[in-house]
Structure formats: C-alpha cells, structure tokens
Amino acid sequence: MDAPPGWTVFIASEDVDQTASAVTDNGGALVFPPDQVGPLGRMIVATDPSGAAFGVWEAGEHIGAGVYNEPGGLTWEDLRSSDPDAARAFYSAVFGYQTQRIAEAGPDYATFSLPGGEPMGGIGGMMGQDGVPSHWIPYFGVLDLPAATAAAESRGGAVHMRDFQTPYGRMAALADPEGSAFWVVEVPPRP
C-alpha cells in the first residue's frame, strides 16, 4: 500500500472474522487478515473501497480506548474520502452505521453513528486535499489548545492550521514528527 504516514483508526467489532467477511463482501480489502493478539484481542487491518486504511478490534482482555471525549482522549474521527457516497454505503453495510448530513459542513459531509446513538465522526470529501489518498484523521481532546500546539512544535511536530474557532470548539491541525496528520480540539475537563 503506497500511502503517506497516518494514524490508523480502529473500529470495535464483536466478531472480527464476520467483519472481515463483510469488508470483502462490500468492496473493501484485507491488508492483514484476522489475527490473534495474544489474550488482548483479535484484529484486522483493511481498506475501504476508496483505499482508506482502518483497523478492526475484537476485544479480549483489552477493550480498546479507555479514555475518550475528554482531554487526552480521542474525541472524533473523520474520513476524508475520494468517494464519500461509496464510503458511507460501505461503512453502513459493514458496521451498521447511520449517516446524517450536516448542511454547514458542505454537501458531501455527513456524521456517522450507531442506530439511535450520538455521532461518532464524519465522512466527507477530500476538503481541499486533492491528490492525497483517502484517509482517516483522528481528533484528540486537549485542555489548552495553545499549550498543546506549542508542545507539538517543540517535540518535532508541525502545525498546519493554528488555533481557530469552530461551532464545535477551538481546534488546530497538527502533524507528528513522522508527518501523520491529526487534529486537537479544546474540551473542558470532566467533573
């Protein structure tokens, strides 16, 4: 797979073998087939029909992310796809996601969620990144956006978009020292 460095977003599954079959049945491909990771769990790495890589995790002793939607944890996942309509159909078929368009985010962007649940992320077009392969971008919560941005720069990372306000909070686009893109969003501490 010829892709720039990036973070791998993992999606939970109760049966990774069944999910692997659903991936290939719906036009995706397996990069790494189902494999046991000791007592921790089982996993696959796959690509969707537009080529975006993602992982699937079936929990054993390790459930996955233990911190989320708070400082230091994952808060959102965005798929930037060369074919967002096909991507939404794929992830809906494989994982049962429902999608909801958001008018203010543009005509090709929609959130995804489990039936009846809160949005977990979004799927949209390339958003000005034409020529870049389809990819997932994680968003991490931070308490202090300027401090997080400064810490990334002082440790060899890069700032692509610095401290701007959105309807969903203050954000910045960063890259780690290897060039893998991610976003940080300022979130309040949990009580």
- The model's pLDDT over 134-150, given as tens digits with 9 standing for 90+, comes to 999 999 999 999 999 99
| Residue 130: per-residue pLDDT | 76
Residues of the chain with pLDDT under 50: 1
pLDDT number for residue 107:
87
Give the contacts of 154 (CB within 8 A, at least 6 positions apart). none
The CA-to-CA distance between both ends of the chain, in Å, stands at 43
Nearest alpha carbon to residue 46 among 61, 65, 60, 26: 26
What pLDDT was estimated at residue 72?
A: 92
Determine how β-strand 53-59 pairs with β-strand 10-12.
parallel
Rounded-to-integer distance, Cα 56 and Cα 42, Å:
8
Cβ–Cβ < 8 Å for 46, 35: no
pTM of the model: 0.93
d(CA 175, CA 158): 5
| pLDDT computed for residue 3 by the predictor | 65
In order of 18, 31, 86, 103, 119, the CA distances from 98 in angstroms are: 20, 25, 14, 16, 9
Domains in the chain: ranges and CATH: 10-59 (3.10.180.10), 74-186 (3.10.180.10)
> Distances from the Cα of 56 to the Cαs of 44, 135, 164, 179, in angstroms?
5, 15, 32, 23
State the pLDDT at residue 1.
46
Q: What is the pLDDT of residue 77?
A: 96
